[in-house]
């Protein structure tokens, strides 16, 4: 099998063919003329043909050199176009961006920010994938993930995790439901109520915290739900007490449609990260997305008064 010519050697030959001398070719390539001479000689060895006739003043191309000249010129043009194409992706605010998050964060936090960004940057093609499974941006070929999870699940050498803020999860119900059922003054009173929770919460009990007091309250549930929007809808229509993140209930609390149950007790608290594959430098499109979305995600998270535990306890992905 014949040896393929080196691109660097072909580019040196192209410069020599255009400039007419090794000194002028070296000026075109911004290198020493001995390097141009060495690369042209190496190209001749690779192709098994003499390409230039050398003299003290200038060089002339042989027949083989003349035939090679347009191919070397096309290589130079192709490489210049490749450089321009890459530069354009670094500077343009256009093209696709794929983002993944959970159903609750999509509806209550990220969706409005993406809608605003799409209107402001019409050349961007934003694709939002809603998936409650914890995803790896590298393995799943995603540009960004918005995650609510334990910090160790997003700290990875191949990923960058930017903290957007914190969310807390607590118990909520509609005033109509609470008016029809026994009063709730302490966690044990929950046993007489209908709870809309995840199966794991029913199995393990609700972990409740009040100051330094920590307890796990058993619950009896007939309906298991892992979707915040559905849980919120059922709570709003008076079907029971449910666990919801603060960002999912903020407007319902303001309107009085939902109220906090056991307000002195807190259920969970976790960080929310904007995660993306490690890239340096970041393209203008990537940096613009981060600068636009991150503060809007932070603004959509209510100002939590609860502080995370010293061990960084957080929930599973929500």
Q: pLDDT class for 205, splitting at 50, 70, 90?
A: confident
Q: Which alpha helices (H) appear in 20-156, and where do they start and end?
A: 22-29, 33-47, 63-91, 103-105, 111-120
| pLDDT at 90 (0 to 100) | 61
Give how far the C-alpha of residue 70 lies from the chain's centroid of Cα atoms, to the nearest Å.
44
| pLDDT at 143 (0 to 100) | 93
- Who's near 182: CB < 8 A, 6+ residues apart? 189, 192, 193
Kindly report whether the global pTM for this prediction surpasses the value 0.75: no
> In this predicted model, which residue has the larger pLDDT, 159 or 179?
179
Q: pLDDT class for 306, splitting at 50, 70, 90?
A: very low
198 pLDDT exceeds 70? yes
- Planar angle of CA 39, 40, 44, nearest 5 degrees: 115
> In this predicted model, which residue has the larger pLDDT, 226 or 162?
162
Burial of 60 by CB count in 10 Å (0-12 exposed, 13-18 middle, 19+ buried)? exposed
| pLDDT at 31 (0 to 100) | 93
> In this predicted model, which residue has the larger pLDDT, 219 or 53?
53
What percentage of the chain carries pLDDT values higher than 90? 48
Note the pLDDT tens digit of each residue in 210-256.
888 888 888 776 677 777 788 889 999 999 999 898 898 988 999 99
Q: Indicate the class that CATH gives domain 93-318.
A: alpha beta
| pLDDT at 128 (0 to 100) | 94
With tokens 């807390």, the residue in question is: 168
Q: Indicate the class that CATH gives domain 7-91.
A: mainly alpha
For residues 181-199, give the mean pLDDT.
Answer: 88
| pLDDT at 162 (0 to 100) | 92
Q: pLDDT class for 153, splitting at 50, 70, 90?
A: low
Going by C-alpha positions, the residue among 39, 44, 6 that lies closest to residue 22 is: 39
115 pLDDT exceeds 80? yes
| pLDDT at 310 (0 to 100) | 39
| pLDDT at 317 (0 to 100) | 40
| pLDDT at 88 (0 to 100) | 64
Note the pLDDT tens digit of each residue in 246-278.
898 988 999 999 999 999 998 888 899 999 988
For residues 21-35, give the mean pLDDT.
Answer: 91
| pLDDT at 303 (0 to 100) | 62
> In this predicted model, which residue has the larger pLDDT, 296 or 150?
296
| pLDDT at 309 (0 to 100) | 42
Torsion of CA 98, 102, 103, 106, to 10 degrees: -50
Q: What does pLDDT average to over the chain?
A: 85
Q: pLDDT class for 291, splitting at 50, 70, 90?
A: very high
| pLDDT at 318 (0 to 100) | 42
Phi, psi of 11, deg, nearest 5? -70, -35
| pLDDT at 238 (0 to 100) | 93
């Amino acid at each position: 099998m014949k040896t393929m010519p080196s691109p660097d050697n072909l580019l040196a030959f192209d410069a020599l063919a255009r400039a007419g001398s090794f000194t002028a070719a070296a000026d075109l390539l911004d290198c020493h003329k001995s390097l141009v001479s060495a690369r042209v000689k190496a190209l001749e060895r690779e192709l098994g043909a003499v390409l230039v006739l050398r003299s003290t003043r200038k060089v002339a191309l042989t027949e083989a050199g003349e035939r090679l000249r347009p191919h070397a010129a096309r290589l130079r043009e192709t490489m210049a176009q490749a450089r321009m194409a890459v530069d354009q992706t670094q500077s343009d605010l256009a093209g696709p961006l794929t983002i993944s998050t959970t159903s609750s964060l999509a509806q209550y936090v990220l969706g409005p920010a993406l809608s605003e960004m799409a209107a402001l940057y019409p050349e961007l093609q934003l694709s939002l994938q809603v998936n409650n499974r914890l995803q790896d941006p590298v393995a799943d070929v995603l540009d960004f993930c918005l995650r609510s999870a334990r910090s160790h699940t997003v700290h990875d050498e191949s990923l960058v995790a930017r903290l957007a803020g914190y969310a807390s999860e607590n118990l909520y119900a509609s005033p109509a439901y609470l008016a029809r059922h026994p009063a709730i003054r302490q966690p044990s009173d929950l046993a007489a109520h209908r709870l809309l929770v995840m199966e794991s919460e029913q199995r393990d009990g609700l972990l409740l915290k009040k100051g330094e007091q920590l307890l796990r309250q058993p619950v009896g549930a007939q309906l298991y739900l892992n979707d915040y929007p559905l849980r919120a809808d059922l709570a709003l229509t008076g079907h029971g007490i449910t666990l919801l993140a603060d960002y999912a209930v903020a407007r319902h609390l303001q309107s009085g449609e939902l109220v906090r149950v056991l307000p002195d007790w807190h259920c969970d608290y976790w960080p929310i990260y904007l995660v993306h594959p490690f890239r340096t430098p970041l393209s203008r499109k990537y940096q613009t997305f981060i600068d636009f979305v991150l503060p809007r995600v932070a603004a959509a998270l209510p100002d939590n008064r609860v502080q995370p535990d010293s061990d960084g306890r957080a929930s599973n992905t929500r």
